[in-house]
Amino acid sequence: MRNLCVVFLILLLAGCYSTTRLSNQNLSYLYWKESGILHPKYKVYHLSDTASKVFCYIKPRELLFSREDGNDAFSASYSIHYNLLASFESKDILDSATFRYTPSKAEAKSAILKEIKFKTPASGKFLLEVAISDAKRKQTVRSFININKDGVANGQSFLVYKRSVDRPLFKNYLSEREEVKVLSELEGVERLLLKYYKPTFPISSPPFSVKSQPQFRTKPDSLANLHLDEGKMSMTFRRAGIYHLISDTANNGGLTFFVYDNDFPKLTEPEELIGPLRYITTRQEYSEMKLLDNKKLAVDNFWLNVTGNPDRGRKIIKHFYGRVEEANKYFSSYLEGWKSDRGMIFVVYGPPDVVYKSSNSESWTYGEEGNITSVNFTFFKVDNPFSDNDYRLSRSATYKNSWFHAVDAWRQGIVY
């Protein structure tokens, strides 16, 4: 029932482009994996000071193809609508357009990639709202993309392609030994400096702890000089970590690559599976699991002790690590998503019932909005040169009872 309500919310919000500020709309569907069938991906690329392009990637299997009257061919019907806004708080639309498409099943093949140009002010930060609607299925999904026009060479001044695929890279992470092509058409972006940072970041402390994630260190572990040849170059990433590519040493902006293990966002290695268990284990339990040689046995035994039988154990493992994977997709920045403050809350509590987003914060509610028994979390955006997806929790001792209630549920074999 809860998922049906989220789908209804997506359809309801489809017509709310300008009548209600985005900051006043419940956007919880953004963190619900099963909130709809459409899961488009986007990449913004700046062409000049006043023009940008958004690449829209759609999987054809997520569109409904059917025959029209008197036509034997299967076709889909969908539209892409965008609004360029100053922020989540603004109702003023700076640019807007709608594009409609009716591809046949033969034309769509394995992927649909659309390029849409839009006008942008010469400088500043903005918000691009994109809505894709499947007319035949009568479903709309909205996405929100931060637009950064500050500085000559921020991440959106570059276009990245995987070496083996003829389309832009839509994810914000890569695997070790992946090769990519980097392009830029902007003037003044030729000589580049690559900074490398080792991936040594702790997981978040419980929400009632005053100890938050440490500030990111700005001193790199190594440096390399690179050069764009006729606006393009190739790069290969030999080891995990953060790679920050800049053209102006006086400006922290640039293109960042987050390189994780090859199976990311999934956790597959036994050593990796132990990490998220720190949220629901005691310090002693966690330390003992880390010391055991057979890490897989340590993980299996923990869940077996929690659930009492292998079948229940497999089910709760699927839910727990499914949330870890989703947290990695939604909240990864300079560290894996499950390690972040939002990732921690998401893994233990699940997707929030109510989400409000502003330019510098997110507020989450578990339970009914305004109900005294509901739990509310507020996350504030951190100014991070490597990512616009870094948020820190406003911590409070009042979360202790709620936290241990959720942890106890997991430890009794109950998906919270």
Two tokens, residue 225: 């000089």
Strands (E), 120-262: 125-134, 139-148, 159-162, 173-175, 179-183, 191-197, 222-227, 232-236, 241-246, 255-260
Reference 10, options 137, 170, 147, 145; nearest CA is 137
- Position 249 confidence tier, pLDDT thresholds 50, 70, 90: low
Q: Is the pLDDT of residue 321 over 60?
A: yes
Q: What is the mean pLDDT of residues 101-130?
A: 90
Give the global pTM.
0.90
- C-alpha 375/C-alpha 364 separation (Å) is 8
Ordered domains of the chain (ranges, CATH): 1-150 (2.60.40.10), 270-411 (no CATH)
DSSP for 79-142? EEEEEEES-TT---EEEEEEEEE--BHHHHTT-EEEEEEEE--SSSEEEEEEEEEETTTTEEEE
Per-residue pLDDT, averaged over 194-207, amounts to 90
Which three-class secondary structure state does DSSP give residue 28? helix
Residue 5 has pLDDT above 50, yes or no: no
Q: Which helix (H) or strand (E) covers residue 326, if one does?
A: helix 310-331
